[in-house]
Structure 1
Amino acid sequence: MSVTVTWYSHACILIESEGTHLLVDPFFTGNPLAPVDADKVSADVIFVSHGHGDHLGDTVAIAKRTGATVISNFEICNWLAAQGLTKLHPHHIGGGSNHPWGRVKLTIAHHGSALPDGSYGGNPCGFLFSIGGSKIYHACDTGLFYDMVLIGEEGIDLAILPIGDNFTMGPDDALRAVKLLKPSKVLPIHYDTFDIIQQDPAAWKERVEKETSTHVVLLKPGETLIL
């Protein structure tokens, strides 16, 4: 079954399979690298990893336009309900749910999660997707943690890892994350959006492929990988 992964820059990812569109951390408005506007993006389900504005992004506007269900932690779902959204599916870390398109489970992430108005955004998370016969781990915003070994035991086809440093893992720790996860492929994200997270993804690819058996996929914003 065909699964495609499109990187819209920063941590925003679109996963498509059998006509279903899963949109993660839809940061378009105010994103200098976004290749499309928020009103041009399709979504059946939106996933929000934490409350920061560069991840929550255009969730409310896109959900209202498309009728997408939003999956996030309990606190963020409550906040989104106060913004007028009704199709919400709250989770917490380690909890998952089955859907016609597959399954998602929330994983730990070491980060913050305050919402744009300063209210409490619960625990940040990553997402482990089982879709179209593939396992995709989107780490979202996180530092390195040793429990990535447990996530890797799932048999990861694609890991999506931040490499920007400063707010998340940098290149060194992201390389260590690859060694813990042992994915077939890895897609580096969360870099170059702002000056403070400028990185050289080609240099990182060279290091990863020299020290591991994982293939590094480099995408430009708007480009798509077929799994």
Structure 2
Amino acid sequence: MMSMDAKKIAFALLIVALAATGLTQTPEPGKKKEIKITWLGHSAFEIVSPSGTDIIIDPFLTKNPATPTELKDLAHYHPAYVLVTHSHGDHLGDAIELAKMSKAKLVCVAMLEAFKKGELPRELFEGVNVGDVVKAGDVKIHVVPAMHSSEPSGRPVGYVLEFADGRSVYHEGDTWIFGDMALIQEFYHPNIILMPVGAVADGQMPQMAWLAVSRYFKPEVVIPMHYGALPGSSTEEDLRKVFGKDPRVVFMKPGETKSF
């Protein structure tokens, strides 16, 4: 029969063995679950919240030369919400068709909703304006201003996705630098910024985009977007010359997913 001391030794050895296999590990106190961000090329992103809410922004996919072939198939996606920043074709893209196929709620500026009336069942439209908040599962979607145009309908906006753990992701849409960015920082404190940087003709010179981040924001991560897809846009090499070696800048490849 095993003595008490022998039992203690055996128990201690069991604990050591379990620890070595990781079976006794517990989550670190205060450690947050991951936000998953996939760049689909240009300004298109798929963002999955820590609790699994799937949101796609500006789904310019099937005609986007930067989107990997396997990701052009709309059947690949199953979002709960599709967000459109403005009505230009390289942002509206496949939003209507994607919402139809996936039964996702399409969030867009109210005037764009009216312009597209009849192309999508009314219950799948969520018409919004600057200052509105849409509850999307465990995510609050805040509608914020952008400085751009939006032919043929509506006005340009950006979106701040606020997660239940307090973190937020700011998709700037198409925008030039503007003073109210200071209010976006003050109100929402975005941890991650998806920043348009590469279309000189649209006023998105990399130097101006970086000035906006440097002057108005204090992000942990900056992901450049809106480059490399359309003729005349900046290359990654161009951007690296402007951004230098700032460790906050994370360059992604179309189709790549990163967790934060």
Question: Which residue is 2:144 aligned to?
Answer: 107
Q: Is residue 2:124 matched to residue 1:91?
A: no
Distance in structure 2 (CA, Å) of the matches to 1:223 and 1:135 = 20
Distance in structure 2 (CA, Å) of the matches to 1:193 and 1:163 = 12
User: Which residue of the other structure, out of 18, 30, 37, is the alignment partner of 1:5?
Assistant: 37
Question: Which residue is 2:229 aligned to?
Answer: 193
User: What pairs with 1:55-204 in structure 2 (closer than 5 Å)?
Assistant: 55-86=91-122, 87-115=124-152, 121-133=153-165, 134-153=167-186, 154-164=188-198, 165-179=200-214, 180-197=216-233, 199-204=234-239
User: What's the CA shift string for 1:71-99, capped at 9, x where partnerless?
Assistant: 11101122333213331111101222333
1:183 match: secondary structure: coil
Distance in structure 1 (CA, Å) of the matches to 2:136 and 2:64 = 31
Distance in structure 2 (CA, Å) of the matches to 1:201 and 1:178 = 18
TM-score normalised by the chain length of structure 1: 0.90
Structure 1 gaps of 5+ residues are 116-120
Q: Report the AA paired with residue 84 of structure 1.
A: L
Deviation, 1:62, is: 0.7
Q: Report the AA paired with residue 12 of structure 1.
A: A
Deviation, 1:203, is: 5.0
TM-score normalised by the chain length of structure 2: 0.79
Higher relative contact order (CA 8 A, sep 6+): 1
Deviation, 1:192, is: 1.3
Distance in structure 1 (CA, Å) of the matches to 2:244 and 2:221 = 10
Question: Which residue is 1:118 aligned to?
Answer: none
The alignment yields a C-alpha RMSD, in angstroms, of: 1.7
Q: Would the aligned equivalents of 2:57 and 2:83 in 1 still touch at CA under 8 Å?
A: yes
Which is higher, the Rg of structure 1 or of structure 2? 2
Deviation, 1:135, is: 0.6
User: What's the CA shift string for 1:116-160, capped at 9, x where partnerless?
Assistant: xxxxx1111010110242211100111111211121222211001
User: Which residue of the other structure, out of 6, 11, 15, is the alignment partner of 2:47?
Assistant: 15
Deviation, 1:206, is: 5.7
**What percent of counterpart residues are identical?**
29
Q: Report the AA paired with residue 209 of structure 2.
A: A
Structure 2 gaps of 5+ residues are 1-32
Q: Report the AA paired with residue 140 of structure 2.
A: R
User: Which residue of the other structure, out of 32, 56, 66, is the alignment partner of 1:33?
Assistant: 66
1:166 match: secondary structure: helix
Q: Would the aligned equivalents of 1:75 and 1:122 in 2 still touch at CA under 8 Å?
A: yes
Distance in structure 1 (CA, Å) of the matches to 2:203 and 2:79 = 26
Q: Would the aligned equivalents of 2:195 and 2:222 in 1 still touch at CA under 8 Å?
A: yes
Q: Would the aligned equivalents of 2:206 and 2:242 in 1 still touch at CA under 8 Å?
A: no
User: What pairs with 1:211-226 in structure 2 (closer than 5 Å)?
Assistant: 215-226=248-259
User: Which residue of the other structure, out of 39, 46, 65, is the alignment partner of 2:82?
Assistant: 46
1:60 match: secondary structure: helix
